[in-house]
Amino acid sequence: MLLQSILDCISGTLAADPALAPPNDPRSPASIASDILNILLTADTPYNIHKLVNEQISTESWSEAIATALLHGLEGAINSGTRMAKASADALAQAKDAAIGFAENHPVYATLIALGILAILMPWMLEILGFGELGPIEGSFAADWQSKYAGYVPKGSLFSYFQRLGMRWHWSA
């Protein structure tokens, strides 16, 4: 019985059983995320955060839409300098210290993670800068930079390297 439950969980057959489906919440993901964000920003102790969040949502009713809305809300609150309750401010400070500590204690791993993120973002960055598939994009930074060369782009220059990447390494749909 226990082994079958574990196998069902791993294979995903439990999710297909309507009796085990999470309860339907009439609120939108954005509304749920807003309620949780309000708790995170106003609760005074970690225990209260845990208790109040559990009243809002269960582990079975989390969805990607709720997580995304919550992430965007947290990012907006942090970027706007929203005053957080002590528990949230302490958690943010601990997360920042842990990230800095990880980078200091594991510089090779931190470098590999940074390079991986850069590789994922590179096509987007090149396009934003104006290094398109067909050459510099009119009115972009790349077009302005190319105009500084007055018609001659030196072989092996940084501009030629970025343009080559932009023409070869593009988003595939």
pLDDT tens profile 55-79: 877 767 778 888 888 888 888 877 7
Question: For residues 142 and 55, which has the higher predicted lDDT (pLDDT)?
Answer: 142
The pLDDT of residue 5 is 55
Cα distance between residue 88 and residue 172, in whole Å: 40
Average pLDDT over residues 26-40: 83
The pLDDT of residue 12 is 52
For the chain, domain boundaries:
22-104, 120-168
- State the chain's maximal CA–CA distance in angstroms: 76
Indicate the average pLDDT of the chain: 78
The pLDDT of residue 22 is 46
**Contacts with 92 (C-beta within 8 Å, 6 or more apart), sequence order:** 78, 84
Q: Residue 163: CA atoms inside 13 Å, Cβ hemisphere, count?
A: 18
Which pTM value belongs to this model?
0.40
Amino acid, res. 136: P
Q: What is the DSSP track for 115-149? A: HHHHHHHHHHHHHHHTEETTEEPTTSHHHHHHHTT
The dihedral built from the CA positions of residue 104, 105, 111 and 116, taken in this order, carries a sign that is negative
